[in-house]
Amino acid sequence: MIGWVDASSGASGDMLLGALFGAGVPVDVVGRAVLAVTAAAGGQPGDVSVEAGTATRNGFAATRADVRVADTATHRTWRDIRGALRVAAVDDAVRQRATATFERLAVAEATVHGTSPDDVHFHEVGALDAIADVVGVCAGLEHLGLEELVVSPVAVGSGRVHGAHGEMPVPPPAVAELLRGVPSYAGPGDRELCTPTGAALLTANATSFGPQPPMAVARIGVGAGGRDPSTHPNVLRLLVGEPAVERVGSAALLLECNVDDLDPRVWPSVIAALLEAGASDAWLTPILMKKGRPAHTLSVLVRADRAAAVRTEVFRHTSTIGLREQTIGKTELDRAMRTVDVDGFVVHVKIALHEGRVVNAQPEYDDVARAAASSGRPVKEVLADAVAASRTLVHGVLEH
């Protein structure tokens, strides 16, 4: 399952929450996570409530997330929020998403104001409604179980906005910092369209940025913003579905370069960045260059629609000053993703099919490693159990 966020009218925490509700995330899934973190942050059970309702924005039907909070003057630091997330009774995956989101906010604010992230006072970002937005969105995304989340270029707005630090240009400094390296543009209207919370949630949870990927859309969530301007529908859309299968004979690009002056310890982070940017695969080949210099050829396989983002990451993370490119034919098996239970932990299994028959089922190693770390068992034992469970799953797929 993959998702695509249309942020062409901007993004905020409540817009994302509304889109998640519209895409089928139950309100109680979000509510439980929000109440758990609120309690850990020193709030009372009645301090926060989350509901979903209907709304129209410039004539379009949408879902409006209604987050209601008790009056509070408490300003929480990143250290406070991190401590609350650490002990809150929420799933580890939700905890990790929320922690990453707030950390991005803290680092951005610290960069803008020249202070330490731990000492940043979030003001409205650290208030209970923003905690509800961040934790709620993270719980909703985790509930959907998306393998990919692609985000469109983000509309940020224009003009000026009033905030805790007075009047500021749009995009505000924190939003500009959070969207550094991310496609963005002014968009419709002459007001703020993307909030710091929205920017942090998108950048912390997106796997890539760009147009809608090939997908069979199953669910559409339309989240309403708080205002209803006449210039445009103030909504954020979330499309959820299965990725379209690349059939035999599909084309791909092979990008290559030779590098002889990069510290070898950097290569793992380079490969990770390329895969995160949308590369289908990336690998290194040791070579010998002129004058006997040892070097590596970096090879990257990528779809044409992801090539621009991958090129950018190659130039950002390596010392090369050029790329060789060629279009190649690619034969790819049909794929499906299933899950198995291993000692109470969810492990995803990638299934490959040839002419409708399952030819391979491989547990995701990262899931296995997390299950092993949480259970205290050796990775090899958990992996063996996951492989055994996958075989049973394969038989079920074959029968159907």
32 and 143 in a common domain: yes
Q: What is the pLDDT of residues 60-91, one digit of tens each?
A: 999 999 888 877 666 677 788 888 899 999 99
pTM of the model: 0.62
Mean pLDDT, range 239-256, rounded to an integer: 76
The answer to whether residues 219 and 115 belong to one domain is: yes
Residue 162 shares a structural domain with residue 309: no
Residues 197 and 117 grouped into a single domain: yes
Last residue of one domain, picked from the residues 215, 243, 271: 243
pLDDT for residue 184? 93
Other residues' Cβ atoms within 10 Å of the Cβ of residue 223: 31
Range of the domain at 185: 2-243
Contact between residue 237 and residue 212 where contact means Cβ atoms under 8 Å apart: no
Question: Quick one: 143 and 214 in the same domain?
Answer: yes
Residues 255 and 322 in one domain: yes
What are φ and ψ of residue 230, in 5° steps? -85, -10
Give the pLDDT score at 393: 63
On average, the pLDDT of the chain sits at 87
Distance separating alpha carbons of residues 306 and 210, to the nearest angstrom: 8
Higher pLDDT, 222 or 121: 222
Q: Say which residue, 312 or 189, is predicted with more confidence.
A: 312
Tell me what pLDDT residue 125 has. 45
Which of 98-102, 272-276, 348-352 is least confident? 348-352
Q: Among 122-131, 178-187, 322-331, which range has the highest average pLDDT? A: 178-187
Whether 278 and 372 share a structural domain: no
Alpha carbon of residue 85 to chain centroid: 19
Structural domain total, the chain: 3
Q: Judge whether residue 170 has pLDDT over 50.
A: yes
Tell me: do 46 and 183 sit in the same domain: yes
Residues 211 and 264 in one domain: no
| Residue at which a domain ends, from 243, 268, 289 | 243
Half-sphere exposure of 390 (CA within 13 A, CB side): 24
Pair 47, 181 in one domain: yes
What confidence score (pLDDT) does residue 119 get? Answer: 64
Q: How much is the average pLDDT of 335-346? A: 84
What was the pLDDT predicted at 162?
Answer: 72
Q: For residue 250, is pLDDT > 70?
A: no
- What is the rounded average pLDDT of the residues 352-357? 78
Same domain, 306 and 358: no
Domain edge (last residue) among 243, 270, 292 = 243
Instruction: Give the pLDDT confidence score for residue 352 in this predicted structure.
Output: 84
Instruction: Examine the domain organization and report whether 16 and 53 are in the same domain.
Output: yes
Residue 335: is its pLDDT beyond 90? no
CATH code where residue 297 lies: 3.30.70.1380
- Per-residue three-class SS string for the chain: CEEEEECCCCECHHHHHHHHHHCCCCHHHHHHHHHHHHHHCCCCCCCEEEEEEEEEECCEEEEEEEEEECCCCCCCEHHHHHHHHHHCCCCHHHHHHHHHHHHHHHHHHHHHHCCCHHHCECHHHHCHHHHHHHHHHHHHHHHHCCCEEEECCEECECCEEEECCEEEECCCHHHHHHCCCCCEECCCCCCECECHHHHHHHHHHCCEECCCCCEEEEEEEEEECCCCCCCCCCEEEEEEEEECCCCCCEEEEEEEEEECCCCHHHHHHHHHHHHHCCCCEEEEEEEECHHHCEEEEEEEEECHHHHHHHHHHHHHHCCCCCCEEEEEEECCCEEEEEEEEECCEEEEEEEEEECCEEEEEEECHHHHHHHHHHHCCCHHHHHHHHHHHHHHHHHHHHHC
Band of pLDDT at residue 329, cut at 50, 70 and 90: confident
* pLDDT at position 248: 43
Q: Is the pLDDT of residue 43 over 80?
A: no
CATH of the domain at 384: 3.10.20.300
Q: Per residue in 100-158, pLDDT tens?
A: 999 888 888 888 777 767 666 555 445 677 888 999 999 999 999 998 999 999 999 99
Confidence grade of residue 201 (pLDDT, cut at 50, 70, 90): very high
